[in-house]
Structure 1
């Protein structure tokens, strides 16, 4: 599988792992200390070919994603569930630990952020689905993030991502019905 866009990753190990899964060019941020030169290269890549931000599913990875997206509008986003990015022997989490298949799947589920306020999902709907304020809210948000490939979020971030990625009310409803059914089946 060949990727047209340039993929932004955190480091060399991520680049090596991504290139085992797909044919792609990458730009490495070298961690969360992203300098202006790297941001400028990402901006040029966005203008010429487009950019996919593919960072680790942890706090530093989300911070890098936010910095790049803020400085370079119009980037696409790929997400890996945390359990797909765990190292076998230590507590590390990262793209470099993911399977080839998980990386391919994450890159196929790319989302493009929009500037317009096209979001139709309201906070009250998240409360009704038990995604905010309920005893299982954190678990449900995590399952929803994996199912929709939008990453792990807190309640406020979830509402923003659902609307930025233009997830429809129907898609949210269908996915939540599946999650609730899985919870019933687990009992």
Structure 2
């Protein structure tokens, strides 16, 4: 599978994992302190071919994602569920631990942010679905993020991502129905 866009990853091990899964070029940020020269490369890549940000599903990965999208708001984002990014010995979390299939799936579902704010899924909808407070809220948000391919987020971030990635009320409803069905099984 050939990817037209250049994929922004955190380091060399991520590049190796991505290249095992797809035919693509990468730019490595070399950690969460993204340099000015790296940001300029990412801007040029977006201008010429497009960019997909594909970072680890952890705090440093989210930090990199915010820095890059702050500078290049038209970039796409690919999210890897935590369970797909955990090493065999359970002590390392990262893109480099994912299978080629999981990487391809994440890249296939890359989504572009939008600055348009047309609230379709409301804060009240999130409360009603038990995504903001309650015993199962965190687990539900995690599963919803996997199903919608927008990554795990706390309640406030989830609300923003639903809008940023233009998740419709229908998509949200179908995903939540699946979350509830899985809970009862």
TM-score class, shorter-chain normalisation, is over 0.9
What is the deviation of 1:22? Answer: 0.3
What is the deviation of 1:90? Answer: 4.5
Is 1:60 aligned with 2:29?
Answer: no
Q: Distance in 2 between matches of 1:119 and 1:43?
A: 29
Is 1:31 aligned with 2:34?
Answer: no
Q: Distance in 2 between matches of 1:84 and 1:90?
A: 11
What does residue 11 of structure 1 align with? 11
Q: Distance in 2 between matches of 1:41 and 1:170?
A: 38
Q: Distance in 2 between matches of 1:68 and 1:119?
A: 24
Task: Report Cα offsets for 1:131-179 as digits up to 9, x if no partner.
Answer: 1112211110001001111011000000000011100001111110111
What does residue 166 of structure 1 align with? 166
1:1-187 equivalence runs, <5 A: 1-185=1-185
Q: Show structure 1 runs of 4+ deviating over 4 A.
A: none
SS at match of 1:115: coil
Task: Report Cα offsets for 1:39-73 as digits up to 9, x if no partner.
Answer: 00000000111000000001100110011100111
Check the 8 A contact 1:141/1:152 in 2, yes or no: yes
How many residues get paired? 185
Q: Distance in 1 between matches of 2:171 and 2:142?
A: 16
Task: Report Cα offsets for 1:17-50 as digits up to 9, x if no partner.
Answer: 1001000000000000111000000000001110
| TM-score, normalised relative to structure 2 | 0.98
Structure 2: tracts of 5 or more residues without a match: none
Structure 1: tracts of 5 or more residues without a match: none
| TM-score, normalised relative to structure 1 | 0.97
What is the deviation of 1:89? Answer: 2.0
Check the 8 A contact 1:118/1:164 in 2, yes or no: no
What is the deviation of 1:118? Answer: 2.8
